[in-house]
Amino acid sequence: MTNSGPEDPAAREDTDMIIIMKPNASAEAISNVTKLIESRGLQAHLSRGDEVTIVGVIGNKEKLHGANIESSEGVDRILNVTESYKLVNKKFHPEDSVIPAGNTTIGPGNFTVMAGPCAIENHDMLLQSAEAVKKAGATFLRGGAYKPRTSPYSFQGLEEEGLKYMKEAREATGLNIICEVTSLRALETAVKYVDMLQIGARNMQNFELLKEVGKSGVPVLLKRGLSATIDEWLNAAEYIISEGNPNIVLCERGIRTYETSTRNTLDLSAVPVIRAKSHLPVIVDPSHATGVRAYIEPLSKAAAAVGADGIMVEVHPCPSCAMSDGPQSLTFEQFDTMMRHLKPYVELAGRA
């Protein structure tokens, strides 16, 4: 972004603010501040914590000139927010979010494990996978019904037929189900079946798709783009939440660097950075990050140690026969072993 200087109206519009209310501020005082903000044509967003309420102001703060809002009853102090993302910003929402999805929650206190095949290949394979990952301790079945592939000649997924298999697997095991959507057509179909939508790395900045996912209200797992900065990733999440859907979980899945030993470079530092910048939960996908099954277990342990809210792992009954991502998929036995080895790390991190 070009440095426009202090007098540029566009620059002022990007500088929003938060109003921190006093711990003993009454409901009436908070309401009065909110009404004052809205009367000036701005948006007010409340974040109520255990001890303090924060009123986020979105829009050109110059519209509040002369309102003397800092003198209003119950106002403690006012802080400027210069980041372009607002609603996902920790300044607007200091307490970490807990995201409901299906029969579980993702966020503080839990360590969520999503596991299953990269692509849904057939009915029996998916049901076997669901039973195996459930037995090992996963709470989500992942499976690709829509597969964005580098080559147009590669397997593209079973689409709605695969989603029907996912639904059957949920009914049989009690697992929650998550599937990637790649288009508006896929989204319109998937919302009838899944507990959580996934936006893949290639679509992280497909802003029209992000808006529609935001309008759907269905919980979303938003993967980091192939070469996206953390701020770009958070701005993508802002597209979703600005359309009314606050149920977002971020997923670090590796970024492209000059290193060729792994498929991508897993940026574990993204986890504490996200913790400092945003209230949204963040999980790690070591499968897509490395592309090598031997590295999945140590990086899953590292994800737990660094404070991730969970992991997403690819599991297949016969990786050597997989139609997609076989080299990075764990067998049922390998996944079960990893889950047992991972348990003490998760417990040490203070998560269930």
Cα–Cα nearest to 278, from 111, 43, 83: 83
Burial zone of 149 (CB within 10 Å; 0-12 exposed, 13-18 middle, 19+ buried): middle
CA–CA distance, 30 with 26 (Å, rounded to integer): 6
Query: Residue 78: exposed, middle, or buried by beta-carbon count in 10 A (0-12, 13-18, 19+)?
Result: middle
In this structure, which CATH number among 3.40.50.1370, 3.20.20.70, 3.30.70.1140, 3.40.50.2300 belongs to the domain 9-81?
3.30.70.1140
Instruction: Tally Cβ neighbours within 10 Å of residue 39.
Output: 11
H or E segment to which residue 105 belongs: strand 104-106
Q: What is the pLDDT of residue 155?
A: 61
Q: Report which DSSP code applies to 255.
A: B
Domain boundaries, the chain: 9-81, 99-348
CA–CA dist 71, 55 (Å, integer): 15
Choose among 282, 272, 278, 230: nearest CA to 91.
278
What tens digit of pLDDT does each residue of 313-328 get? 999 999 999 888 899 9
What was the pLDDT predicted at 1?
34
Distance of alpha carbon 220 from alpha carbon 209, whole angstroms? 12
Q: Of 81, 9, 84, 69, which is closest to residue 39 (Cα–Cα)?
A: 69
Task: Provide the pLDDT for residue 106.
Answer: 98
Across the chain, which has 352 residues, the per-10-residue mean pLDDT values are: 36 68 93 94 88 88 86 92 93 94 96 96 97 98 83 73 96 98 95 97 97 98 97 98 97 97 97 98 98 98 98 97 92 98 96 82
50 CB-near residues (< 8 Å, 6+ apart)? 95
> 314: buried, middle or exposed (CB in 10 Å: 19+, 13-18, 0-12)?
buried
**Fold held by 99-348:** TIM Barrel (3.20.20)
Give CA angle at 338 (333, 344), nearest 5°: 140
Q: What is the pLDDT of residues 106-153, one digit of tens each?
A: 999 899 999 999 999 999 999 999 999 999 999 999 999 987 666 776
Phi, psi of 251 (to 5 degrees): -135, 115
